[in-house]
Amino acid sequence: MQTKATTSEPASQMLSLLNACLSTQALHVAARLGIADELKAGPRGIVELSAALDAQPDTLDRLMRMLAGIGVFSAGEDGTYQLTPLGETLQTDGPKSVRDWALYIGAAAPWSAWGHLYESVKTGTPGFVLAHGMPTYDFLEAHPELAASFNRWMSKQSDQQNAAIVDAYDFSKFQVVADIGGGQGSTLAAVLARYPSLRGILFDKPSVVAGSAPLDASGVRVRCDVVGGDMLEAVPGEADLYIIKRVLMICSDAEAATVLKNCAAHMRSGRKVLVVEMVMPPVGESGPATTFDILMLLANKGGRIRTEAEFRALFAEAGLKLDRVIPTRSPNVLLEGTPV
């Protein structure tokens, strides 16, 4: 008679945490194969699905079984697989799609960087530098195919959070809003669409703003100037509100202070800066900020998720006062600053 092995609950929990890397890779492969798109029309058998995806039936079935076990797909009694609401987020289109992040997070170059966390913790050197000799954004500049999925995810993520930001803040008192490090313009597009009297400035690296499709899609391009440049050198001076969304988290303290100083240099009375970031919770509290802090450690030298006190110190160094910390119904908070 075989005796069933028993495992303590903490050990089971730890094994689930340790094996999470396999789930990440399985989701990356599912996104890369386009399984969710293939199942959009309805249930498919493994032979039909493998032919459509040019994959081996046996190995694809093993992948599908694993993902069905965590709720990404469901299995029918007739041997077919179909999408679940969770799996729908891996479709290419849709307001809740996270497919581009799945394509990026499990790709070979980032994956090798994550493997250097031990050395990053020991030395403070980002995993991307250890793996590839350069930080994340320099690597993406040199690898446009990987950058494409990353930049699409940045825009998609912004789309998913923008309504919460626009709902939480009154932009009506301003005339010109500049989005510093604004990517392809999805956040700025949301603000301009809600406030038809506003004009905007989208500012980021030339290679990034070259793909400013969200401005066209929202019909606000005519009210927006698109400017390429380096925020560590200077920013446009025509705005009375400067938005800096999820940019300072990739910067060292010195770089973050420089970006804020470059904005403060143009801020006369009545002008404001609005920093949109996650804020680190007290030690022991769970949430996305603590995980993203490790991602920042691996990605860029000095990048980090900061506490409210650390933001106050950065604002002060830049000659700004942190006036308000405004929660949103997203992981982000709004930190509003004015000149001292």
Q: Compute the mean pLDDT over every residue in the chain, rounded to the nearest whole number.
A: 93
Neighbours of 215 (CB within 10 A): 24
Q: Read off the pLDDT of residues 189-248 as tens digits, 9 standing for 90 and up.
A: 999 999 999 999 999 999 888 877 889 989 999 999 999 999 999 999 999 999 999 999
Residue 10 to residue 290: CA distance in whole angstroms: 21
85: three-class secondary structure by DSSP: helix
Record the tokens describing residue 303, joined without a space: 């990048």
pTM: 0.84
Q: Read off the pLDDT of residues 164-195 as tens digits, 9 standing for 90 and up.
A: 999 999 999 999 999 999 988 989 999 999 99
pLDDT of residue 8: 67
What percent of the chain lies above the pLDDT cut of 90? 81
Q: Are 148 and 175 in contact (CB under 8 A)?
A: no
pLDDT of residue 1: 44
Residues 135, 136, 138, 143, CA torsion sign: positive
Q: Which backbone phi and psi does 178 adopt, to 5 degrees?
A: -105, 125
Q: Are 188 and 177 in contact (CB under 8 A)?
A: yes
The predicted model gives 46-73 an average pLDDT of 97
Residue 181 to residue 188: CA distance in whole angstroms: 11
Residue 310 to residue 307: CA distance in whole angstroms: 5
Do β-strands 44-45 and 80-83 pair in parallel, antiparallel, or remain unpaired?
Answer: antiparallel
Residue 4: pLDDT over 60: no
Q: Read off the pLDDT of residues 102-141 as tens digits, 9 standing for 90 and up.
A: 999 999 999 999 999 999 999 999 999 999 999 998 999 9
Residue 242 to residue 235: CA distance in whole angstroms: 10
Q: Which backbone phi and psi does 114 adopt, to 5 degrees?
A: -60, -30
Name all contacts of 20-27 with Cβ < 8 Å and 24+ positions apart. 22/66, 23/66, 23/70, 24/105, 24/106, 25/106, 25/111, 26/63, 26/66, 26/67, 27/67, 27/72, 27/90, 27/102, 27/106
